[in-house]
């Protein structure tokens, strides 16, 4: 059986840890690999390797660092299908969905290729008598990323390409569920010419996370995962004096106004609610039709679409949705469906008990649709992270905005309408970090930045794009005056013009 390796100081090596975790193929339920959970000594070795490599890398001209990123992008383009196969094999998402994930990750690498421009500083001449001032952004040193199972290639690429291009060295701790795609990407970055020790990959569980958060030589930590863990990472990391960006969970709504094209809205909800089996932090999990007529018409269009979802393994080219990532997570999602029924929601389409011939041991849940969900129900308040769409009926536009703004999460939101005034008002007033107008999954492109509000983001910086460059650098301002411009005699007052 395959044993997943760490990557430290430019070399792959199997951890000596006696603690190991299984890696499964979710489509079949078969164990396909074993993952040693790194020891704290092995994490220390990775950090030491990064610390030794960073000074030279940080002093490497940005253009030379960019050339490594250009080569990395070229190799990622060439091996995109290989990365997608690894993602599908361990995560379960369809091949086309996995390819889409890889492409969005590559776009973040492409952004990092522009690092010479992004790190250009500012210069002001004669800020005082014969005094000049300039400012630039410098790397932090050793930084780390802790990434989730749902995007095993893309989310790490939200982090380490920008961090490395800025001159830092990076420690990556990927999800234990699907570790192979990050390892393949590491191979490609090494082939692209990244120096040994600049990117290290260590696998582990909470013990590894805690050691990273406490390590005195790690200056900053990026995290993506559930809100309780994001809050824990933020609190523990900042308590240790680190800069932390911790992206948490979501309950993303989509408002459908009476003037919207309901076929377009229903199609958008299908892709945004059931794509990747709902295991996306930007998945739409709540539809908010405005008015009873709109709600009735929307349910009528959604029900047959959900019932006819094509569910299968990634090897089925016609599959629209795959399995959930683990048996435990499948059972958790089924428990939420049970809870929705218990609390009085109307179950329109029931995905429990779904079984696929030949894949009976896979971790499948069928598409599930609830109507007449209320804001006090568990399935509304909590993030399910599965193929479950809840319909909450709003009597009018104002109530739709009010219920969204009252939710503890503020990650993503969408509105479907033909009314430009309503769309503009919605974008202004909604208390959510990422807004889509007739766009169901408003994930910003790589040259903008990704980040929610409220309990969907802990920290002062969003991730990737310009915010990513700011997170992985610190500002230094230098004021200069040369002897010819210095008057004799001490000056005891605070300097002014």
Tokens at residue 119, please?
Answer: 């790190």
Query: What are the two backbone dihedrals, phi and then psi, of residue 330, each rounded to the nearest 5 degrees?
Result: -55, -45
Same domain, 299 and 170: no
Residue 432 has what DSSP assignment?
A: -
Tokens at residue 195, please?
Answer: 């120096």
What pLDDT is attached to residue 490? 78
Domain contains 497: no
What pLDDT is attached to residue 327? 97
- Among residues 481, 302, 280, the alpha carbon closest in space to that of 387 is found at 280
Residue 41 has pLDDT above 70, yes or no: yes
Strand partners, 146: 173, 223
Residue 482 has pLDDT above 90, yes or no: no
User: Average pLDDT, whole number, for the chain?
Assistant: 96
Residue 497 has pLDDT above 70, yes or no: no
Beta strands in 141-202 (DSSP E): 142-146, 169-173, 199-201
Three-state secondary structure call for residue 448? coil
Give the domain CATH number at 163: 3.40.605.10
What pLDDT is attached to residue 50? 98
pLDDT band at 484 (very low <50, low <70, confident <90, very high): confident
Provide the number of structural domains found in the chain.
2
pLDDT band at 58 (very low <50, low <70, confident <90, very high): very high
Q: Which H or E element spans position 30?
A: strand 30-36
Domain contains 494: no
Tokens at residue 67, please?
Answer: 């050339």
* Contacts of range 226-232, beta carbons closer than 8 Å, 24 or more positions apart: 226/383, 227/383, 227/409, 227/455, 227/456, 230/457, 230/458, 231/455, 231/458
Three-state secondary structure call for residue 401? helix
CB-based contacts of 316, cutoff 8 Å, min separation 6: 94, 310
Give 212-244 pLDDT, tens digit per residue.
Answer: 999 999 999 999 999 999 999 999 999 999 999
Domain contains 486: no
Same domain, 264 and 220: no
Q: How many whole angstroms separate alpha carbon 212 and alpha carbon 415? A: 40
**DSSP code per residue over 480-492:** EE-GGGPPSS---
Residue 485 has pLDDT above 70, yes or no: no
Domain contains 490: no
Annotated catalytic, 281? yes
Q: How many whole angstroms separate alpha carbon 453 and alpha carbon 403? A: 15
Q: How many whole angstroms separate alpha carbon 387 and alpha carbon 273? A: 6
Domain contains 495: no
Domain contains 374: yes
Give 349-403 pLDDT, tens digit per residue.
Answer: 999 999 999 999 999 999 999 999 999 999 999 999 999 999 999 999 999 999 9
pLDDT band at 335 (very low <50, low <70, confident <90, very high): very high
| Domain region containing 143 | 2-248+456-478
Same domain, 191 and 325: no
- Helix axes of 206-214 and 227-239: crossing angle, nearest 10 degrees: 30
Same domain, 390 and 474: no
pLDDT band at 40 (very low <50, low <70, confident <90, very high): very high
Residue 491 has pLDDT above 80, yes or no: no
Mean pLDDT value across residues 393-419: 98
Same domain, 127 and 263: no
What pLDDT is attached to residue 177? 97
> What number of other Cβ atoms are within 10 A of residue 237's Cβ?
27
Burial class (CB in 10 A: 0-12, 13-18, 19+), 318: exposed
Give 120-137 pLDDT, tens digit per residue.
Answer: 999 999 998 889 999 999
Q: How many whole angstroms separate alpha carbon 425 and alpha carbon 427? A: 6
What pLDDT is attached to residue 422? 97
Residue 495 has pLDDT above 80, yes or no: no
Domain contains 275: yes
Residue 394 has what DSSP assignment?
A: B
- Among residues 156, 167, 145, 2, the alpha carbon closest in space to that of 68 is found at 167
**DSSP code per residue over 216-244:** TT--EEEEES-HHHHHHHHHHHHHTT-EE
**Alpha helix stretches (DSSP H) within 390-431:** 397-406, 420-429
Percent of the chain residues past pLDDT 70, beyond the cut: 100
pTM of the model: 0.95
């Amino acid at each position: 059986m395959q044993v997943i390796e760490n990557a430290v100081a430019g070399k792959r090596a199997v951890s000596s840890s006696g603690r190991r975790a299984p890696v499964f193929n979710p489509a079949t339920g078969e164990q396909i690999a074993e993952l040693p959970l790194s020891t704290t000594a092995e994490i220390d070795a990775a950090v030491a390797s990064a610390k030794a490599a960073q000074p030279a890398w940080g002093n490497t001209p940005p253009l030379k660092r960019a050339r490594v990123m250009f080569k990395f992008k070229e190799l990622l383009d060439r091996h995109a299908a290989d990365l997608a196969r690894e993602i599908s094999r361990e995560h379960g998402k369809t091949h086309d969905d996995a390819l889409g994930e890889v492409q969005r990750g590559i776009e973040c690498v492409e952004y990092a290729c522009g690092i010479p421009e992004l790190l250009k500083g500012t210069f002001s001449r004669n800020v005082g008598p014969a005094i000049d001032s300039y400012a630039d952004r410098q790397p932090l040193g050793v930084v780390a990323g802790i990434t989730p199972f749902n995007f095993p290639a893309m989310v790490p690429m939200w982090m380490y390409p920008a961090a490395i291009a800025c001159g830092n060295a990076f420690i990556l701790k990927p999800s234990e569920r699907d570790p192979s795609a990050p390892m393949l990407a590491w191979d490609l970055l090494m082939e692209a010419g990244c120096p040994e020790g600049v990117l290290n990959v260590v696998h582990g569980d909470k013990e590894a996370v805690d050691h990273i958060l406490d390590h005195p030589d790690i200056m900053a930590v990026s995290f993506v995962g559930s809100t309780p863990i994001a809050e824990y990472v933020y609190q523990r990391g900042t308590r240790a004096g680190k800069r932390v960006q911790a992206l948490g969970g979501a309950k993303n709504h989509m408002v459908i106004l009476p003037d919207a094209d309901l076929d377009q809205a229903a199609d958008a909800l299908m892709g945004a609610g059931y794509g990747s089996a709902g295991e996306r932090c930007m998945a739409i999990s709540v539809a908010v039709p405005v008015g009873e007529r709109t709600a009735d018409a929307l349910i009528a269009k959604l029900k047959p679409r959900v019932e006819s979802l094509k569910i299968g393994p990634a090897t089925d080219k016609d599959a629209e949705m795959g399995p959930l990532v683990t048996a435990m997570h499948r059972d958790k999602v089924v428990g939420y469906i049970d809870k929705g029924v218990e609390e009085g929601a109307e179950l329109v389409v029931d995905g429990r008990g779904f079984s696929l011939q030949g894949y009976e041991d896979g971790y499948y849940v069928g598409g599930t649709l609830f109507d007449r969900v209320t804001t006090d129900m568990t399935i509304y308040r909590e993030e399910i992270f599965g193929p479950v769409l809840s319909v909450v009926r709003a009597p009018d536009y104002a109530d739709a905005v009010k219920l969204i703004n009252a939710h503890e999460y503020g990650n993503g939101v969408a509105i479907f309408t033909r009314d430009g005034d309503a769309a503009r008002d919605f974008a202004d007033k909604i208390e959510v970090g990422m807004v889509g107008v007739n766009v169901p999954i408003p994930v910003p492109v790589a040259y903008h930045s990704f980040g929610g509000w409220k309990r969907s983001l802990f920290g002062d910086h969003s991730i990737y794009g310009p915010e990513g460059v700011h997170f992985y650098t610190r500002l230094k301002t230098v004021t200069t005056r040369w002897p010819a411009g210095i008057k004799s005699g001490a000056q005891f007052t605070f300097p002014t013009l």
